A = this chain, B = another copy of it.
């Protein structure tokens, strides 16, 4: 008799009606008396738990139930009984009950409702609460749906190097990598750092494979201690040859909507849980996003609009050159458009060197995709394909030509231009789950001063 995932029973209880099955999982509660026990167990396949009924009858080791603690691993064989009139649509009437491994009394997850901050101290067990369980199940599905979306659309999954001698953004906030055991530097004279983006390398593969994407960890040695920043996070970066700015904005919008729609469909119970316990507006917000056409606004127009209402912002200095803060982004997406919006053509001075320089000589063909409730979810651009302009801008921001020559050379070897964007995966998980701290959507978060386990 093979073990059944509890999720499968919830998906189609009738299929299991009166069937004898085996389940394995962990106990989250037990109540009852010396005649009957109601045991709630979960196996991680769903946030929904199975109710097991144990009756004190001959041949059933009923006294064992008194010795079992919350968190214990058990195996139950029994029969699924449909209970259409009860709160739960079915229950498992136990024929046999096996304690595989008990949990000590100091198991930290004795009940639901522990606050998220406390749970951050115990990342090795916090996923055994319903809130983390829901979040991590959705996270996993989002990741798989991302791979599925790009596969369905003919993209090559490209693995950029993690350890690199290039600093893609020219941002400087990088981690340095050294060999622990040797006096000789492992990679010779070059400084090795952890990649902040896979984009430059992905561009090289877009030239030849046309459509590629990365999905990998990236790193920033940012000391800022905010809800949105982590030192280690996963990033999705598609890069498409022959695409211009408008094409890649459309890709970003399509991808987001497809991935979110499919994820919602696969997790009715988890979204119900988060809606009831984290963000009562969650599904309304996501459904509004799904059905709302993406708007596009030029950065200059956005600045004009923001300037009209500048009194309401903390940063009131609204003029060309402003790097939009979250308060501005949220105003644009929530108040101006009440939906997703791409702001395009940003001033070049605060954008990366590789972005296509517009004819006005002041802006670049970049976009930020903003969504209500969050602000920026995606940033991307059309890449500068003109060798001289690219080199000039790289030198302006202090990148040496020697380091960048391989990348510059792509432009001499049939690179007719490509476009791409980056999605911080954890930010996407936050948007989709309503969880508002990045530390709670990644299993073992790494932030300044924090490297638990």
Contact = CB atoms under 8 A, between A and B. Distances in A.
Contact of A449 (B124, B187, B409, B446): B187
B201 A443 contact: yes
A279 to B, nearest CB: 22
A303 interface: no
Interface string A1-19: 0010101000000000000
Interface string A177-193: 11111100011101011
Nearest to A109: B413
A170 to B, nearest CB: 13
A414 B71 contact: yes
Interface string A435-446: 000000011101
Count of chain copies? 2
A415 B101 contact: yes
Contacts of A156: 44, 136-137, 140
A154 B452 CA distance: 28
Contacts of A128: 207-208
A296 interface: no
A72 B414 contact: yes
A453 interface: yes
A217 interface: yes
Contacts of A199: none
A275 interface: no
B443 A160 contact: yes
Contacts of A154: 5, 7, 45
Given A188-B451, A443-B160, A449-B188, A210 B43 contact: yes
A246 interface: no
Interface in A342-386: 385
Interface in A148-195: 148, 151, 154, 156-166, 172-182, 186-188, 190, 192-194
Contacts of A104: 412-413
Contacts of A176: 177-180
A180 to B, nearest CB: 5
A103 B173 CA distance: 35
A241 B414 contact: no
Q: Give the interface centre of A173, A216, A409 by most chain B CB atoms within 10 Å.
A: A409
A147 B207 CA distance: 26
B413 A443 contact: no
Closest 7 pairs (CB-CB, A-B)? A101-B416, A44-B209, A100-B416, A73-B416, A161-B444, A187-B451, A124-B204
Given A103-B414, A179-B221, 10 more contacts: A27-B414, A71-B414, A101-B385, A107-B413, A125-B410, A136-B205, A143-B159, A161-B446, A164-B451, A186-B448
20 contacts: A73-B207, A73-B241, A100-B416, A103-B414, A107-B414, A124-B406, A127-B209, A140-B157, A148-B148, A160-B444, A161-B451, A163-B219, A164-B451, A174-B180, A176-B178, A180-B221, A186-B449, A188-B449, A201-B443, A406-B452
